[in-house]
Structures are given as structure tokens and as C-alpha cells.
Structure 1
């Protein structure tokens, strides 16, 4: 009965951690404390390297806050131990008995070191924690004894029997380790939340916010753990105190990370967080950076993937003020990041319903967004243009939108977006460019029902660009979604101006069924694979 990688990794939540991507030299110095030969440990026992009591402090992560240091140590050790246990499973499957035993000893050292360090630095102690520590240490010792016996025999029957026992013990080690780490992290997070709610010291509160934010960056499981301990409540307590105003951006950034969790959004609603965010966003005394972080929180809680946001009555009650402030931030922002976050929040709101779109349109969104696109300081990336064209695409279902886009030279902008190219060449940027192409074509297809818009697009050489995107897969980054949108836009414009389209394009791209044209163009990709 073998333990497969997946079954052990299910109980090891920390086998991949962003926090662990630290300087390689620093990692080596940290590991020196536990990666030593047994003989060396005996010789150096009770013989300090330095006469100073804190001789080991240079080998540890130096932070001004003890709890932050303890938390980083805990996460670092958890990642190392998870990695080592995974390696043991892999070696065990290949019957590499001596290697398994050596790695077990190494893991045992890491576990002992982690527990010793945690007990030395943790401010919270609990009987349950000590029980888990004892269970884990006992299982680690049992695993070491079993793997040692495997190195002392070559009898296949004995090894097969012992392999079964090792698998069971290894799984128990993984489970106990996971439970211990979860319990320790819960205790640490509780301490950080209490620090937020009880402390008036700005440096102490800043350290707590920084630690909580770091945890939210380590994946959904840790983010859920932080949300579960009602960190949202503590963060809003900070956001309601003027003497912590300098910490608002950091608190809001942490809040935005937490609000990918449904539980965090429910907590936000319970503490009337929408009203608090609205007050900050509409208060001219707050900096642009602070308002941009509020926009990030709003963008998070209004994400189309979050299905329950529309049921937040407080958001609907404050939506007019929020939209007004977000549009003002787009108009007045001095950085691309501020404009990006504000436009992202507006883009998400346009997915609510037609009433939200009507409100945004009536507040002059078309003029503000098109003007922003002409300012390279505000809209300077494909990501920002993606948000702007998303708003225009959703507003284009409303008839009054067409006239405004025509007046603000928005058709020319949409045609220009059909040529969106990445700067860095990263996969994320290429994906953003694909979305810009697709949504620009969708907007043109929707607006093309208005004859004056169709004529303006044709005068901007739109038909030629659409045909090129259909004919040349590399121009649309081999995206089928872009192809469908371009075919739809081309067919809409052809109603107004079919005379200017070559007969071969009409026969292949316009007159057949959409699915036939799609299959014709998508099959062109084969030569590029």
C-alpha cells in the first residue's frame, strides 16, 4: 500500500510559498543552524561561537518585531519540512532506502529546530500546541527508526513489510505536521488581529498589517485563515481612526487581498465597510494613493466572479457616490496605477446591470475614459486599456452611448486598439492584448448598428484591420475569441459598406455561416503550431 505524492501533499499546505523566495545566501545561512553533521553537533555542544548571548541573531531574519520574526520563521520552516517530506515520498517509491533514511534524519532535525525556535519566540503558549508537538516528535522518531532498519537488511519480504509501515508513519507525520502548523498560524494570526484592535502604537500596528498582508500573499488557504480570524474587523477599526491615516494604504491593500474570500466580504458588510470605503474615497483630504487602494478593494468585491456582491444593499445605496468618485479618480489621477485601479472597479460595476451602465454613462464616463486614453501618463499599459474598453463595450448596449463615442472621437480609439501589441512579451501582457482586441471588436460590432458609427469606423480603415486579424492568426495571438469578435464586427460593417470589401473576403468571411468562416480562419493556425 503505497502513499502517493498527492495524498501526502494534501496534508502539506506549505509546499509552495512566495515568502520563501528570499536571497539564496540568506537561505544558506538560515539552513546552517540545522544542517550539520551529528559529530559536529556533539563537539560544539555548549561551546558558543561568540561570547555574546545573541551570537545567532545574525543568522536569523532580522525584523524589528518579534512576532513578525516568529511568523516568518514558522513559514520558512514549514516550507522546508514540506519539501523534505515530499522528497522522502519520491525516494521511497524508488526504494532508495539509504537516501530515505538520510533525508528522514534531516527532516527530523528541521522539525526539532522549528519547534525549539517557535517555543522560544512565540508569545502564545497552549496545552493543545504542546500535545501536537509531542505527537509530531514521536512520529518523527518512529519514522527515523523504521528507515534505519531498512538500511540494515536486504530481505525483500522484510523491506516490503517495512515500506508499508513507513508509508503509514510518513502519512501520520504529514498530518500531525499540518495540524501543528495550522494551529500555530491560527495563534499567530489571532495575536496579530488583537494587536490591530488593542494597540495605539503606530509602529506596532504597521508591523501587524505587514505580517497579515504577507500571509494573504501565500495562497487561498492562508488567506482564508486570516479572514476566518476576523482580520477584516481589525483593519476597518484602523481605517476609522484618523491618527492611523498614514497606514490607510497598507491596511486597504491587505483588505483587497482578503476580499477574494467570500467570508471576508461578508465581514466587510457586517461592519458597514462599504460606507467607510465611500467616505475615504470621497474625502478630498486623503491622498491619491489611498483612494487608489480603496478602488482596488472595490474592484475586488465587485469582481464578476463574486456572485454575491450585488446583494450587498450598502453597496447599491452608495453606488452613485462611489461611481462619481471613481470617475474623478480616473480624470485626476497622476499615475497609471491609480487610473488602472479606478477603471477596473468601474469595469466590474458595468457588469451589474443596465441601470449601473446608465448611471455610469450619464456621469460622463465616455468623455473621461477616452480623454484618459490620450494621456500616456494615465493609460499607459494594455492592462489599463483592457479595463477602459471593457467599460465601453458594456456601455455600448445603450443607444445614447453611440453619439457620445462619436463626439469624443472614440471610434478612432477603438480602431487603434485593434492594433494592440505587447511591450514586454510576457504571457500576462499578451493575454491583456488579446482581451483588448476582442473587446474592441465587440464594441465596434455593437455600435455598428448605428450607420454613422459604421461609416466612421470604415473611414478609419477598420475593415482592413478586421480582415487582417481574421486572415493572420499571429496578428490575433492565435485567439479564437478574437477571431469570432472580428468576424462579427466585419459582418456588421459589411452591411453598410460591402462594396469596399474584396470578393474573396466577402465569399469567405462575410457571406457564409459564421461557423464556416470561423473554421476556415481557425484552420490557418495549423502552419503556426
Structure 2
């Protein structure tokens, strides 16, 4: 019995794993609940009607068909949206069948398998109506899936007529196997259909000879990139990156560069996208766009977004791209210029985010920035509230300065630009909205500025300037008051390190209790003391 239980659990886990792999996280489905219900109503009612008609698929209404046929440029996208909706419904139903099967709810298992059968037939009917060119491999999977769904319905129908628990237990294993096979065929069918439709869309971009068709196809492709990383992988696999860079290399499509670059940035959230970008000399193309002064600021900003994406330290697969290192000086120079000339907060955010990521990407970037007067430019930008207009932008600036502060020359640059005052202002960073994402950004700003102060305070001039601006009392407040640092441990550690560095210069402003609790003990002991200061209201 123990072995049987383990086998069932293993089968369930395999099935659920296949479902999660075959049906993707779709932003399409993440919408207002009432709107979602209205969107899904047609599919659900179709299914119920089909149950009455013994699973005979209902054809698409004429008005809906004519609506979907209004523009050939949108047909591929419409097909995909319908396919994704059906796929989401079917995968949800299959997952629920597994859950009901675990609880031996045989009546519910059967009724839900009937629904899945209906949805599968309807999905296949709809897809074939729109495409009108189902190929042999697709037909093969359609046939196998329909047969397995019918088999599942037959088996579950037999189960509701059986009362012997031992017989039902033996049949449960058969149902598990059939469910796993259904999930497998379903996943392969959806993968084939999605790949086929996306390939058509990419072909449309690749063969576009006018602005309208290229804009429409690129817009549709961008919409698909928002549906999850799996679709981005398919787009990369069918040479979507190649087609998009073809657009970016033609002057006649200059007006489409921002939209095309935004799509490229989305696809490059997956490893396959970055690999394709490297293969087609995409970094060289990005460099050309960033350094071409005839392009609009919007185009430069979207090119910066692509750079920020491919250099993101959060992507575990990001590597030192050879072509990026070859062009890094030109890219860094162009991005810093974009920061300096940015006419909006969004442009500055994209440019500074790319620079911040590059400082993690290669240590040479910090030295380049220092030679280009980056400290002066960034400090001046922080004083411009239209340019640096959010904690997110200040987070990027704080990142760049923290990474540059390991260089000895950075201290003198900070002093010359009155940068210590700006650093102190950023140390006081607070969220005005209370939005969790904004609060997290404020924490990162506080932490990175504390790290920057700790590193720069190697220079006595910086340390004394910070002390004269009441840096020590504020650091003590951040250490002792959990609410001031939003209970952030990372901010606490950084503030303790900065406080200890400044205390070496002068004990002024420090009470004996501060020295005994925050400065003299081991860092870990001071950390534990401060984390335990939080009041308990339980």
C-alpha cells in the first residue's frame, strides 16, 4: 500500500509539472475579475452547450468570424489570444481533476473530464477554422489528444458506476496514466500551434516592406512577449531577434525603432534571446543607435533599456559577452550623455539603470565613468527633480556611486561636486506613497548610500564633511530605530559599518552608550542588539 501511495503522488507531481511547463504564465489572464469573467463567459457556455450536444464542437459565430477577419495583420495575434485562453482553461481543468482524484470525488472527476473533452474539441475546431492549414504533425497530435480525452471520459464514467473501493483504487492508477498522457499531448499540441503562429508573425516582420505592416506585426509580437517567458523563448527560437534587428538596421523604419527595441528588451529576459542577440551582432547595432546623434531621445532610451536587460545582474545566465566588452567604452559614454541630456524621469531611469548594471558587469566600467566626470553629472542630476523624480532613479544613482566608491579618486570627485550633501539627502530617503515596491527602493537607496559613505570615509575630507552634516546622529537613529529603516537588516548592517568608519575619525556626536553598543562590540553583536530593539505588540 505504501508503494502504491508513493506511485500515485509521483504521477500527480509529474502531471502537474507537465501542466506548468506546457501552459504559461499569461498576463492576459491577470485582469479585473469581472472583466475576466466576461472574457471567459463565451468559452464556459460553449462548453456547457457542447455537453448537451454530446461534445460536438460549436462553430464560431459569423459575426465573430467576420470581426476576427477584419485585418489580416491582426489574425495571427487573434489566433494566439484564443489559443492561450483555451489553453489556460484546459490546464486549469486538468489540474482540478488531479485534485479531485486525490480526494476520490469520482462524480466530479467524471463531470470535469467531460468538460475537458469539450474544451479540447472546441479548441481544435476553432484553431483549424482560423488557420485552415493544419499540417500533418499537428493533425497527428490533435487525433491522439482527442482519443485520449475520450478514453479518459469513458474510464471515469465507468468509475461512477462502481462502488467497490479496491476496484476504484486499481482504476485510479489507470486514470493517472491517462491524465499524464493527456497533459503531455496537450502540451505538445499547444507548443506546436504557438510556434507555428509566432513563426508566421516573425515572417511577417521579416518580409515587411512598408511601415504599417511592420508596425502592426511588431506590436503584436510585443504583446506576446508580455504573456510570459515561455513565449519569449519561442520567439527567440524562431529567429524573432533576427527579424527585429533587421528593422533596426533600415533607415526607412526609424519611426519604429523605439517599439522594436522595446520588444527586443522583453525577449532578452530569457537566455535564448541574449544568445540570439549576440549571434546577430546585436550589441554592435545597439552601439550604433546609442552613438548616432540623429536618433530621437526615445530611441536612445529604448536602446538603453535593451542594454540594461542584457547586463542585468539578476539574470543568472548573463555572461561577459565578448562583443559587449569590445563596445563598452562607446556604450558607457553614450549612456552617460543620455543621463546628462535626459528630458524626462523615464529616460534618465533607463539610462542610469543600464549604467548601474554595467558597473556590476565589468569593473573597468567604474574607471571609465570616473574619467568621464560621471560623479559630477550624476550629482547634478540628483538636484534636478524633473530628471531624478523617484526612489527608483535614486536607487540607480546610488548603485553607480557605491560601485565607483571603491576607487580612491572618487572621494575627491565627490568633494569637488558638493556630493556629500546629496549623499546625506539620499540617506534620508523615505517613501511618500507607502507602496511596497517604492518602500523597497527606498531601502536600497539607504543601504547603498551608507555603503558609499563607509567606503568614501577612507578619505578624511569626506569623513569630516559627512560629520559636519550630522551624519553620525542620523546613522545612530537608523541603527536604533527599526521603523526608520523599515526593519531592513541590510540597511542596518550598512549603517553600522558607516558609523564605525566615521567614529574612527571623531567620537564627537557619540554618547558613551553608542560607543559601547554600536562601535566597540563585534559587528555581529551590535547587529543582534539593534535587531532586538524592535518593540513587540503581540
TM-score computed with the length of structure 2 as normaliser = 0.92
Q: Cα–Cα, structure 1 residues 104 and 390, in superposed 2: closer, same or farther, change >3 Å? A: same
- Tell me, in whole angstroms, the C-alpha distance in 1 between the residues paired with 2:451 and 2:132: 57
Cα deviations across residues 238-276 of structure 1 (Å, max 9, x unaligned)?
Answer: 101112222211211111122222332222222221121
Q: Cα–Cα, structure 1 residues 148 and 301, in superposed 2: closer, same or farther, change >3 Å? A: same
Q: Which residue is 1:502 aligned to?
A: 511
Q: Cα–Cα, structure 1 residues 32 and 163, in superposed 2: closer, same or farther, change >3 Å? A: closer
Q: Which residue is 2:416 aligned to?
A: 407
Q: Which residue is 2:43 aligned to?
A: 31
Deviation at 1:374, TM superposition (A): 1.2
Q: Which residue is 2:127 aligned to?
A: 118
Deviation at 1:214, TM superposition (A): 2.8
Q: Which residue is 1:441 aligned to?
A: 450
Deviation at 1:526, TM superposition (A): 6.5
Alignment of 1:51-450 (within 5 A): 53-54=62-63, 65-122=74-131, 124-306=133-315, 311-450=320-459
- Tell me, in whole angstroms, the C-alpha distance in 2 between the residues paired with 1:124 and 1:39: 28
**Is the 2:427–2:445 Cα contact (8 Å) retained in structure 1?**
yes
1:208 aligned counterpart, secondary structure: helix
**Is the 1:61–1:69 Cα contact (8 Å) retained in structure 2?**
no
Q: Cα–Cα, structure 1 residues 440 and 162, in superposed 2: closer, same or farther, change >3 Å? A: same
Deviation at 1:62, TM superposition (A): 9.3
Q: Which residue is 1:9 aligned to?
A: 16
- Tell me, in whole angstroms, the C-alpha distance in 1 between the residues paired with 2:51 and 2:28: 33
**Is the 1:419–1:437 Cα contact (8 Å) retained in structure 2?**
yes
1:474 aligned counterpart, secondary structure: coil
Name stretches of at least 5 consecutive residues in structure 2 with no aligned partner.
Answer: 1-6
**Is the 2:482–2:533 Cα contact (8 Å) retained in structure 1?**
yes
- Tell me, in whole angstroms, the C-alpha distance in 2 between the residues paired with 1:222 and 1:148: 36
1:527 aligned counterpart, secondary structure: coil
2:104 aligned counterpart, secondary structure: coil
- Tell me, in whole angstroms, the C-alpha distance in 1 between the residues paired with 2:134 and 2:495: 63
Q: Which residue is 1:455 aligned to?
A: 464
1:11 aligned counterpart, secondary structure: helix
Over the aligned positions, Cα root-mean-square deviation in angstroms equals: 2.5
Moved more, 336-345 or 24-33: 24-33
- Tell me, in whole angstroms, the C-alpha distance in 1 between the residues paired with 2:197 and 2:423: 51
Name stretches of at least 5 consecutive residues in structure 1 with no aligned partner.
Answer: none
1:398 aligned counterpart, secondary structure: coil
1:422 aligned counterpart, secondary structure: coil
- Tell me, in whole angstroms, the C-alpha distance in 1 between the residues paired with 2:162 and 2:475: 72
Cα deviations across residues 54-96 of structure 1 (Å, max 9, x unaligned)?
Answer: 3565699999611111011111111111111111111111111
**Is the 2:57–2:118 Cα contact (8 Å) retained in structure 1?**
no
- Tell me, in whole angstroms, the C-alpha distance in 2 between the residues paired with 1:204 and 1:291: 23
Cα deviations across residues 257-299 of structure 1 (Å, max 9, x unaligned)?
Answer: 2222233222222222112111111222222111111001111
- Tell me, in whole angstroms, the C-alpha distance in 2 between the residues paired with 1:454 and 1:352: 29
Deviation at 1:48, TM superposition (A): 10
TM-score computed with the length of structure 1 as normaliser = 0.93
Deviation at 1:125, TM superposition (A): 2.9
Cα deviations across residues 23-58 of structure 1 (Å, max 9, x unaligned)?
Answer: 32541443255232457648x999998xxx435656
- Tell me, in whole angstroms, the C-alpha distance in 2 between the residues paired with 1:207 and 1:298: 25
- Tell me, in whole angstroms, the C-alpha distance in 2 between the residues paired with 1:362 and 1:509: 37
